[in-house]
A and B are shown apart, each in its own frame.
Chain A
């Protein structure tokens, strides 16, 4: 490669990465709001749950069953006299850990597959697109049920089930974006100066496909929070006595007549976390489309 062509190329690259970075910064600025603050509060609560709660999530106090909120039990206790506040904090660990891992894993795998399929096309594209169609035609919960009954219900497998199910969504987003970017001049320029397909894909196509993914990650996370709680509600998620928000909802549902607080508190926790993640996704999207227009 001659020095002029590499100069030419690096010039284009710098613009790409700088613009990708600028997009991310703009997205980051958009995150300073109540939604992001709530997510930060949940993260802190989950991280320091032992220190904040004062009670263990499985400590039973049978003298204080169904205790109303008090100074001792901030959100009251459940049917076994366990501290609801402690269980919410520990449950946040499961929700956050599954959401973050499943969303990142599915986005990462989806991005790689989307890049491959969109950029290489041909047989690879057909095969991967076909498999993604098949997975998408499968009802989500039944799919998760399969994976959990094959490998057993623990957190790792819940994450795998949700991640595998989320891959086709991320795959479609990235593949669509790659199909557009592939035809843009700077990519053609890179090919015409003799860059290898791998180099073109990684250095030119990939950074420009980052934008839609920054929207996809928070939304994938909120989807994973909903799905994890749904699985736990059905009794298919992480096994008791490990506290999960979905499990607390299901347990509390039995006492809906006398202690409606029990199912409502974990419900509000799921609702607020999902609402915040969705709001962050919307704000990132708005920030990005603002940039485009």
Chain B
């Protein structure tokens, strides 16, 4: 692919990215307004005597008196200017609320993702190199079990072992990494390990094993071996680059998966992250907060998928043509 072709491709990807995010916000906006219930009533409670004038004044304050399409355009205009509005229930700006909880979710999920990536790919490669041996069979069995273990079950098992029986780690709760790094890591450990082990790590293990195994059977690898290169060099220098295309695509999918899993992990470990924030916001009809959160999540998911597509081209020069 020449320079202008590449540019055109990138622009096309960007346009698609923006279109999908736009579609997601549109869907959320209209879905929210079909949900029976009303954020103003949710805020003041149904029993509280809220006079009809006060009620309509509040609706007007949040722009809820206008037709839904106009509300959407207003919201879009503000978002483009970096203003996501004010949470109706928490009466605070949406952006800092999301930033505060998003940071926590990002710490947990990134740690999970890195753990899954490193150990999943390493174990997958080990299983492929030792294909057919006891090591391979043990790892493949663990992977099969890992894919089938839901995070809410694995988390409970880990809590039982490390927090209840051994008393090494706290059961639930959250401490920031700064200033107390040690306490922070102790609180991060179980949720991050649960997020990695329940699914993503096992899926990455299976895919890396399968794709590396396929590559290892090819002629050029046999040639490399016959030159007398060590298994290590053959695997890492010759086979891995070709196996990494599939692994990469699965890794991108896993990131989105881990993000969706944060809702359960945060409930299980009582972590004040974005998954919990958005669940509560949907239940309480907090329109601006849900809209903001879903926008952020959709941007992250679509962005990661686009990055994965672009990374393909770096990893596999054939796709560039």
Contact = CB atoms under 8 A, between A and B. Distances in A.
A234 interface: yes
A103 to B, nearest CB: 16
B152 A134 contact: no
Contact of B21 (A137, A146, A150, A267): A137
B164 interface: yes
A274 B149 CA distance: 8
Given A130-B20, A256-B159, A222 B263 contact: no
Interface string A247-267: 001100100110010011001
Given A141-B263, A253-B156, A275 B150 contact: no
B280 to A, nearest CB: 10
B282 A137 contact: no
B260 interface: yes
A28 B263 CA distance: 37
A275 B301 CA distance: 28
Interface string A54-76: 00000000000000000000000
A139 interface: yes
Contacts of B260: 139-142
A8 interface: no
A233 B152 contact: yes
B185 interface: no
A146 B24 contact: no
B122 interface: no
Tier of interface size on chain B: 35 or more
Interface string B3-31: 00000000000001001110110011001
B104 interface: no
Contacts of B278: 142
Interface string A119-146: 0000000000011011001111110011
B43 interface: no
Contacts of A142: 260, 263, 278-279, 282, 294, 297
Most buried by B among A130, A137, A141: A137
A49 B160 CA distance: 30
A233 B294 CA distance: 22
Contact of A134 (B23, B159, B256): B23
A230 B150 contact: yes
Tier of interface size on chain A: 35 or more
B147 interface: yes
B226 interface: no
A139 B152 contact: no
B156 A264 contact: yes
Contacts of A133: 16, 20, 23
A137 B23 CA distance: 10
B48 interface: no
B34 A137 contact: no
Interface string A225-256: 01001100110000000000010011001001
B264 A234 contact: yes
Given A137-B24, A146-B31, A260 B283 contact: no
A77 interface: no
B153 A249 contact: yes
A249 B282 contact: no
A48 interface: no
B152 A249 contact: yes
Contacts of B268: 253
Contacts of A131: 23
B156 A279 contact: no
B156 A249 contact: yes
Contacts of A256: 156, 159-160, 164
Given A145-B282, A249-B156, A271-B153, A138 B298 contact: yes
12 contacts: A134-B23, A137-B24, A138-B24, A138-B294, A146-B32, A149-B283, A234-B264, A250-B152, A267-B153, A267-B156, A270-B153, A278-B147
Interface of B: 16, 19-21, 23-24, 27-28, 31-32, 34-37, 144-145, 147-150, 152-153, 156-157, 159-160, 164, 256, 259-260, 263-264, 267-268, 275, 278-279, 282-283, 294, 297-298, 301-302
